[in-house]
Amino acid sequence: MNTLKILKYFLIIIAGSFLISCSKDDNPIIENELNGLKLVTTLSNTTHKVELYTLNGKLQTGFNNIFFQIKNTDGTTIDNATASWIPEMNMMSMKHSCPYSEISKAKNSTSTYMGFIVFQMAGSESEYWDLNLNYSINGKDYTIKDRISVVEANRRVVESFQGSDSKRYILAMVEPTAPKVAINDMKAVLYRMDGMMNFPVVDNYKIVIDPRMPGMANHSSPNNTDLVQGTDKMYQGKLSLTMTGYWKINLQLLDSIGTVIKGEKVTETNEGSSIYFELEF
């Protein structure tokens, strides 16, 4: 009798634990194009709502991959729009834009669009960013213009500077987004500022990298590869990180004939370059 009871409870416990573990596993994963993304803000006009998403739910200084969906007022998504955007910084005395990409459908998506924007500065109460989104659906044009909040990134991931050739440049780190103790793929984008609204990609330059740990007597790592332009127009190289922690990636920008446009070599006497990115992991 007793043994039966024990057996019964034992079976109940076993079954129970099965149920718990099963219910966890069986929880249906909603196949969502926006999986892993966080809502930043919703822009709206009278006809549509546009939901902006990023990986961390924020727009911040530097390179931002931005995803969005256009929804009718009833909440249904639009999947046949073509769109373009212009970010605009409203300063006290003037307006300017920043580097941005064209907009395309996100990979493996039916109704999610994506592009990137490189904000070279954060917004504030008095000086703020607007996003102008122009889109057309079935030949009809629409537009949304709304204020977006751009915050300062925790670490320095974008540099805006005047080069030795008197031109202004914007250089932003794209990758690594999840740095590892390893040889990481590194990616950056480089633009020139031609006037307030025009930011063409700079071709055939070279970005020399020198990762350092200022907290470790400026320890550096071996087997880094300087960044050169890849087929996607972005600058690509290899970044070695020998341990976790805070890294300062000192930069030097060289033009197509090797002239230093900006940045200084790190030496015994020069602790760091005037342009750099930061990573902490």
- Do residues 275 and 253 make contact, with C-beta atoms less than 8 angstroms apart? yes
Query: Minimum distance between the CB of residue 73 and other proteins, rounded to whole angstroms?
Result: 45
Which of 248/262 has CB closer to other proteins?
248
Q: Which residues bind other proteins (CB under 8 A)?
A: 180-183, 213, 215-223, 240-246, 280-281
Which of 156/168 has CB closer to other proteins?
156
Query: Minimum distance between the CB of residue 213 and other proteins, rounded to whole angstroms?
Result: 7
- The CB-based long-range contact list for 98-102 (8 Å cut-off, 24+ gap) reads 98/170, 98/199, 99/170, 99/172, 99/189, 99/191, 99/199, 100/199
Query: Minimum distance between the CB of residue 173 and other proteins, rounded to whole angstroms?
Result: 18
Which of 160/224 has CB closer to other proteins?
224
Give how far Cα 272 sits from Cα of 212, 240, 277, Å.
8, 17, 11
**Residues forming beta bridges with residue 39, ordered by sequence position:** 53
Which of 37/153 has CB closer to other proteins?
153
Question: What DSSP assignment string belongs to 175-244?
Answer: E-SS--SSEEEEEEEEEEEBTTTB-PBPPS-EEEEEEEEGGGTTEE-S--EEEEE-TTSSEEEEEE-SSS
Which of 178/257 has CB closer to other proteins?
178
Query: Minimum distance between the CB of residue 221 and other proteins, rounded to whole angstroms?
Result: 6
Which of 77/242 has CB closer to other proteins?
242
Query: Minimum distance between the CB of residue 38 and other proteins, rounded to whole angstroms?
Result: 23
Nearest partner of 100 among 110, 109, 87, judged by Cα = 87
- CA dist., res. 4 & res. 147, Å (int): 70
Helix and strand counts by DSSP (H, E) for the chain: 1, 21
The two tokens of residue 140 are 């009809």
Query: Minimum distance between the CB of residue 254 and other proteins, rounded to whole angstroms?
Result: 21
- CA dist., res. 158 & res. 62, Å (int): 5
Query: Minimum distance between the CB of residue 171 and other proteins, rounded to whole angstroms?
Result: 24
Which of 127/280 has CB closer to other proteins?
280
